[in-house]
Amino acid sequence: MIIAADHLSKWYGQVIGLNDVTLAVPPGITGLLGPNGAGKSTLMKLITGQLRPSQGSITVFGEPIWRNPASYARIGFCPEQDAFYERMTGVEWVAALVGLNGVDEEAARAMAMRALDLVDLAGEARKKIGAYSKGMRQRVKLAQALAHDPELLILDEPLAGMDPVARRRTIRLIREWGRAGRTVLVSSHILHEIESMTSNVLLIHQGRILAEGNVHQIRDLIDEHPHTVYIRADETRALARAFLAEDGVLSLKFEDQALVVQTARPDAFYTRLTAMAASGELGTIHEVTSPDDNLQAVFQYLVK
């Protein structure tokens, strides 16, 4: 595992930031999801060695990270705060930070330009950061995180302030980095953005990890919450009569040209539904979706 936390806790005076967290982040892209104040930034700061654990341990690439600056060469951190050396140009700033990795001036500048090009800022590289728009500031922050070619990218709310086009491009970049073998831990409280990047998530709430792993697997494991299935069909009443006889069906609701079923046994239900659709015995079934087989539903179920 790239990142491993063992009974990790962090408190600020009387306030608990992280509460007895044990987790492992595998290679690839992992989404860190939680509402504001959940502990996402605290966890990221612990991973990048900005904060010291109050209790427990955290290792990155198998080594403790606090006061271990040698490990930072393999990490690229894009923090949440909108803070820069405003008087420097984009390329000057990124090159100066890359230079702190031990790279000589010329190489640092070349690496900075490449990173800025990746985030579509090559044209504005020589402008002062103070003149950048919010989206450009976010992109230059990303550039400084990846300019030195790190193996692990920690991105704290990287899409904040970006316009839709930039968001799409950044999401695509993140996916590319994952495919290229980098490990990326990206946090957000915007669920569909995380979903579009990865299905591997860490759900955090009030300093505790609620769940980790594949979002669909997590959903399946939430036994006490029934699945909701939306069926648009011609013969909704006939379908309803057939489903009433099924074990596991907990409720039926009629909507416009559709039937919403809640079932505690989704596998069996889908098997039966597939058979009905194939036989056509109860009319044509036009559409079958599961409104709660997504991150939002998973999160809401876990938080309640």
Partner 1 sequence: MASVTRRPTLLPSALRVFDLSLGQMLWSRRSLFLALLLGGPLLLAALVRFAAVADPAALPRINGQRIGGLTLFGMMMWLLYIRFIVPVLGVFYGTALIADEVDDRTITYLFARPIPRAAVLLGKYFAYLACTSLLVLPSLVLLYFLVAPIGERGIGAGVPALMADLATLVVGLAAYGALFAWVGARVKRPVVVGLVFAFGWEPGVLLFPGYLKQLTVAYYLQALVPHSMPSVSPVGSIMQMLQPAPPSVAASLAALGAITVLTLWLAARAVESREYVLEP
Q: Applying CB under 8 A, which part among 1-9, 96-104, 120-128, 205-213 lies near partner 1? A: 96-104
Of 20, 120, 149, 246, the one binding partner 1 (CB under 8 A) is: 149
Q: Is 96 in the site for partner 1 (CB under 8 A)?
A: yes
CB of 1 to partner 1, least distance (A): 21
Instruction: Give the span between the Cα atoms of 88 and 146, in whole angstroms.
Output: 19
Instruction: Give the span between the Cα atoms of 229 and 249, in whole angstroms.
Output: 11
> How many residues can be counted in the chain?
304
DSSP 52: -
Of 28, 114, 161, 206, the one binding partner 1 (CB under 8 A) is: 114
3-class DSSP assignment, residue 117: helix
CB of 30 to partner 1, least distance (A): 19
CB of 62 to partner 1, least distance (A): 17
CB 215 within 8 A of CB 195: yes
The phi and psi torsions of 280 (rounded to 5 degrees) equal 70, 15
Tokens representing 217?
């697997």
Query: Which residue reads 């938080």 in tokens?
Result: 303
Residues with Cβ within 8 Å of 304's Cβ and at least 6 positions away in sequence, in order, are: none
- Residue number with CB closer to partner 1 (100 or 165): 100
Binding mask 22-61 for partner 1 (x = CB under 8 A): --------------------------xxxxx---------
Q: Applying CB under 8 A, which part among 75-83, 190-198, 236-244, 289-297 lies near partner 1? A: 75-83
Q: Is 64 in the site for partner 1 (CB under 8 A)?
A: no
CB of 74 to partner 1, least distance (A): 8
Q: Is 238 in the site for partner 1 (CB under 8 A)?
A: no
Q: Where are the beta strands (DSSP E) in the chain?
A: 3-12, 15-25, 29-33, 55-60, 63-64, 75-78, 152-156, 183-188, 200-205, 208-214, 227-233, 249-255, 258-263, 285-289
CB 181 within 8 A of CB 27: yes
Q: How far apart, in Å, do the first and last CA atoms of the chain sit?
A: 30
Instruction: Give the span between the Cα atoms of 178 and 30, in whole angstroms.
Output: 9
Q: Is 279 in the site for partner 1 (CB under 8 A)?
A: no
Q: Is 15 in the site for partner 1 (CB under 8 A)?
A: no
Give the helix, strand, coil percentages of the chain, each rounded to 5: 40, 30, 30
CB of 152 to partner 1, least distance (A): 12
- Residue number with CB closer to partner 1 (13 or 123): 13
Q: Is 72 in the site for partner 1 (CB under 8 A)?
A: yes
Q: Is 101 in the site for partner 1 (CB under 8 A)?
A: yes
- Residue number with CB closer to partner 1 (146 or 215): 146
Binding site residues, partner 1, CB under 8 A:
12, 48-52, 67, 69-73, 75, 77, 79, 81, 83-85, 87-88, 96-97, 99-103, 107, 111, 114-115, 144, 148-149
